[in-house]
Structure 1
Amino acid sequence: MGKLKLFSISLNNPQAVYYPGQFLEGHVTVELNEEMKMRGIRLQFYGGAIVRWSETHTSGKRTTVRHYSAHETYFNSELVLFGKASGQGGDNPTLHAGSYTYPFRYQLRDGIPSSFEGSFGRIRYYLNATIDKPWKFDHTTKRAFTVVNLLDLNSDPGAAVGSRGENEKTLCCLCCKSGPISCKFQIDRCGYVPGESIPIKAEVINHSNRRMKRSYAELFMVIIFHSTRKSRTDYRKIGEISHGEILPGDSDTWNGDLLPIPPLPPSKLHGCRIIVIDYYVKFCVTPAGPAFQLEIPIKLIIGSIPLRSTVQQYGFPPPLQGPSHSQLYQGGTQASAPPEASMPPPTYADSAFGTVNIKDEDDSEYTKGDMNYTPVYAYYNWGTTAQPSAPTQ
C-alpha cells in the first residue's frame, strides 16, 4: 500500500448540475498512510469549448492531412488548498499521515453555455485536484460537472407559433411517368422542452403507380463546428415514428402521432461561438424501388423552460408572471428549482447521447477520478399526452 490512501473531490450538489452564476461548493479529501513531502495541493476550476477534426486531401500523388481546431476558455482558476501555488519558490512543506478535508467555493461566470459532448467538439466543465510532488509523479483526481444555460421558450415569439410545409414528387419508372406523391405536414407550435412529445399531423396522397414503403417523422440535431479556418456540420438522429405502406391510389393521414423528445441540450448553445445546435423534425415518404424519398423539414426550438401557454394543459396551475429563473436562483445551489413562480419543476436526466470518457491528452496514467461522464439536461416528466393547441394559421 502506498502513502496515498484516498484523494477525491466531492460536490455538495449530488446532481452536479449548475446554472451560470451559481456557486460550486464541495470539498477535497486527502488520506495519507504516511507523511508526504509536496509542493502543495491545488484545485483547478475549468470550463471551456474545443472544436477539432482532421481531413485528408489528395492532389495528384500527394496526400496531406489538414488539422482544424478552435477553442474558447470560459474560466480557468486555481485554488491553493495546502502548501504553495504553482511556480512559487521556497521550502516544500510536509503533510503528515491522517485524513484532511479542504472545502472550496467558486462562483461560475454568468452567460456560460450548456455542457455538450459532440463528435468534433465539446463544451466541458471539470474540477482537477493535484498533489504536486517534487521529483516524482503528481497525484491527480478529476471530477466533471454539468452546466445548464436555461433557454426560456417564453422569450422567443416563434416558439408558440405553428409551422407547416408541403411537397410533391413525381416518380419515373423506366420510360413511364406516373402521377405524383404529395404530402402536407404541420406542427401546432415550434417550441418544446425535453419530456414533451410533438404531435405529428400529416396527409400523404399516393397518385403514383408505385407502392410507398412507409412514411415517418424523424427528430434530428444539426451541429455546426466552427474552427478558425473552416466549419463542419454533423447530423445526429434522435428518434422517429413511422406508418406502414401506402398502395398506389391510396392515402394516409397522421392525426397527432406523438414523437417524444428525450433529454437534450437547448437550441443554439447560447454563450458558445464555436459550436451551434439546431433541431428539426422532418416528415418523409419512402417509395419502393429506386427513387429519392420525399422530405419536408421544419425547424424546432428545444428549450429548458416550457411555454406558459402549455403548462396548464398538463394540469398545472397558471404560472405567475414572476421574476425569471436566473433572478430567483442566481448564486443558489439548487439544481432542480422551478424556473419561475408556479412553474412545474424539471428533473435532470442523462443526455440521450450517453456517456463519454473525459480523459484528455494532458491527463497522465496517474489521473484518477471517474473518467466516465454523462451530461444531464432539464427534463419535464409529463408523459406522452398530446397537448391541445390552436390550429396553425
Structure 2
Amino acid sequence: MLFDRLKRFLIVLEGTEGDAPAAFSPGQAVSGRVVLELAAAARLGALRLRAMGAARVHWTESRSAGSSTAYTQSYSDQVEFLCHRDTLLAPPDNGEVTILQAGRHEFPFTFQLPETLATSFEGKHGSVRYWVKAKLHRPWSTVKKVKKEFTVIEPIDINTPALLAPQAGAKEKLARAWYCNRGQVSVTAKIDRKGYTPGEVIPIFAEIDNCTSRAVVPKAAIIQTQTFIARGTKKQKKSVVTSIVGDSIAAGKREVWHGRALKIPPVGPSILQCRIIQVEYSLKVCVDIPGTSKLLLELPLVIGTIPLHPFGSRTSSISSQYSVNLDWLSTILEQPEAPPEYSTVVSSPETEQSLAPPCRSELGGILEGPFFAYIQEFRFRPPPLYSEIDPNPPSDNTRPRCMTC
C-alpha cells in the first residue's frame, strides 16, 4: 500500500517551517513546496494543488409562531476571494502511472494573491480563512489530502487625513427616579485622531458634569462590534476590548480628564470592505448614574496595521487644535528642478542687479519696523562631483579681466 510507504506528506510555505504561521499581504506572491517522502518506491497518479480564500457566515435563530409552534431559521452566506488550481505531478499521456523512488521529493508552487482581500478573521458567527490544499492520487486507492492555512492581513494606513482627524462629541442626560427630576449629567470627550494601531495609548480628554444629587462614576472602554450579514439580515456581537474606571464624582461636582491613558491591547485590525463580515471599533465614554440608565458617548475608531510615522504624529498634535489641509502635499514635485546654468545667472550686469537684495530706497518704510528678513528658497539638485581639471580651459587669446576696473 502507498500509505504504508508514505513517511511524510506536508505543505511548506516559503519563510516558514512546520506549523509556524505564515502571513501575507494582498497582491503578494505566495510560494512554497509540497514535500513527499517515501520509504519505498510507489506508483502515483497525480498531485494537485488548490489555494482557496473565502468569508463565510452562518447562524440560526429560533422563532415562535403562535403559543406552541416554534421553528428554527438558518442564515448563511459566502464570498469567495481566492481560487487557484495547479497540477504539480501529472500522469503520463499514455495512461500509465508515475513511479517515484524511495526518498524525499519536493514539488514547488507559486501563486499570486489578488490586490483586494479581507483580513483573516475568526468570529462567533463567521470567519475569513485562507488555505492551500494538496491531493495525492493513486490508482485503485483513496486520495491522500493535506492542508495548510495561512494568514492574510489587509494593510490599513492610519497616516491618512480621514484617520488623523480628531474625534469629539458631547451628550447629556436627565436623571429621573419615580418621576422626580434629580438633575442632569453631561459629558464631552475628545481624542486626537480616529486611527490607531495595537499597542498605542489613546489619550482621552473629557469633562463630566454631575448636577444630580448623587455621586456618579465615569468609565471608558474600547468596544469591538462584529457584524455578520446574510440574506438581508444582520447579526451583531459586541465585546469589551479594554476599559478603565475613573474616580467617583460627587454631587454637584465636575471631573476633568487631561489625557487619561487607555492602551490598546493586541487585537485584529478593522474589517470594513467585506460584504458579509465587518469588524468595527469605537471608544465609549459612559457615566453610571444610580437609579437610571447610563449616559453613553461613542467615538468611532479604526484599528490599522501601519503605525503613525513622525510626520503624522506632528500633524496629529496640530490637528487637535486646528483643521489641517494636506492637499498641498500633492503640489510638491517628486523630482527636484534642475539648477539653472551658471551663464544664465551672471552673464550680464542686469542679471546681477536683479538677483541682489532690494536697496533701502526701494523698500520705503518697511525697514523702519522692528524686524526685517529677506529669504530666498531654492530647490536644486546636488552639485556635480569635484574635479581639479577645468572642463572649459581658457584659450590663449583670452585677456584677463582687471579687478580694479
Distance across 1 between alignment mates of 2:229 and 2:130: 20
Residue 281 of structure 1: aligned partner = 283
Over aligned residues, Cα RMSD in angstroms? 2.6
Mean Cα displacement is larger for which, 29-38 or 183-192?
29-38
The answer (yes or no) to whether the contact 2:205–2:259 under 8 Å persists in 1 is yes
> Structure 1 stretches (4+) deviating beyond 6 angstroms?
none
Residue 74 of structure 1: aligned partner = 81
Residue 329 of structure 1: aligned partner = none
Aligned pair partner of 1:16 in 13, 22, 44: 22
Distance across 1 between alignment mates of 2:241 and 2:43: 52
In the TM superposition, residue 185 of structure 1 has moved relative to its aligned partner by: 1.0
User: How do residues 1-393 of structure 1 correspond to structure 2 at under 5 angstroms?
Assistant: 2-14=4-16, 16-60=22-66, 61-84=68-91, 90-155=95-160, 157-174=161-178, 176-212=180-216, 214-270=217-273, 272-288=274-290, 290-308=291-309, 311=312, 388-392=317-321
Greater relative CO (CA pairs within 8 A, separation 6+): 1
Distance across 1 between alignment mates of 2:107 and 2:186: 67
In the TM superposition, residue 163 of structure 1 has moved relative to its aligned partner by: 1.8
In the TM superposition, residue 35 of structure 1 has moved relative to its aligned partner by: 3.4
Structure 1 unaligned segments of length 5 or more: list them: 319-386
The answer (yes or no) to whether the contact 1:83–1:92 under 8 Å persists in 2 is no
Distance across 2 between alignment mates of 1:230 and 1:92: 52
The percentage of aligned residue pairs carrying the same residue is 31
Instruction: In structure 1, give the amino acid aligned to 2:282.
Output: Y
User: Across the two proteins, how many residue pairs are aligned to each other?
Assistant: 315
Distance across 2 between alignment mates of 1:20 and 1:305: 14
Provide closer, same or farther for how the CA distance between residues 312 and 293 of structure 1 changes in structure 2, counting only shifts above 3 A. Answer: closer
Instruction: In structure 2, give the amino acid aligned to 1:33.
Output: A
In the TM superposition, residue 102 of structure 1 has moved relative to its aligned partner by: 1.3
Report the 3-state secondary structure (helix = DSSP H, G, I; strand = E; otherwise coil) of the residue aligned with 2:193: coil
Which has more helix, going by share of residues?
2
Provide closer, same or farther for how the CA distance between residues 23 and 159 of structure 1 changes in structure 2, counting only shifts above 3 A. Answer: same
In the TM superposition, residue 172 of structure 1 has moved relative to its aligned partner by: 2.5
In the TM superposition, residue 219 of structure 1 has moved relative to its aligned partner by: 0.8
In the TM superposition, residue 62 of structure 1 has moved relative to its aligned partner by: 2.1
Distance across 2 between alignment mates of 1:279 and 1:89: 59
Distance across 1 between alignment mates of 2:138 and 2:87: 14
Distance across 2 between alignment mates of 1:38 and 1:231: 48
TM-score (norm 1): 0.73
Map Cα deviations across residues 7-60 of structure 1 (whole Å, 9 max, x no partner): 121122336111111110121111122333443222211111111111111102
The answer (yes or no) to whether the contact 1:203–1:253 under 8 Å persists in 2 is yes
The answer (yes or no) to whether the contact 2:165–2:319 under 8 Å persists in 1 is no
Distance across 2 between alignment mates of 1:6 and 1:111: 35
The answer (yes or no) to whether the contact 1:188–1:389 under 8 Å persists in 2 is no
Provide closer, same or farther for how the CA distance between residues 84 and 389 of structure 1 changes in structure 2, counting only shifts above 3 A. Answer: farther
Distance across 2 between alignment mates of 1:89 and 1:263: 56
Distance across 1 between alignment mates of 2:247 and 2:5: 65
Provide closer, same or farther for how the CA distance between residues 90 and 226 of structure 1 changes in structure 2, counting only shifts above 3 A. Answer: farther
Report the 3-state secondary structure (helix = DSSP H, G, I; strand = E; otherwise coil) of the residue aligned with 1:2: helix
In the TM superposition, residue 82 of structure 1 has moved relative to its aligned partner by: 2.0
Residue 331 of structure 2: aligned partner = none
Instruction: In structure 2, give the amino acid aligned to 1:259.
Output: L
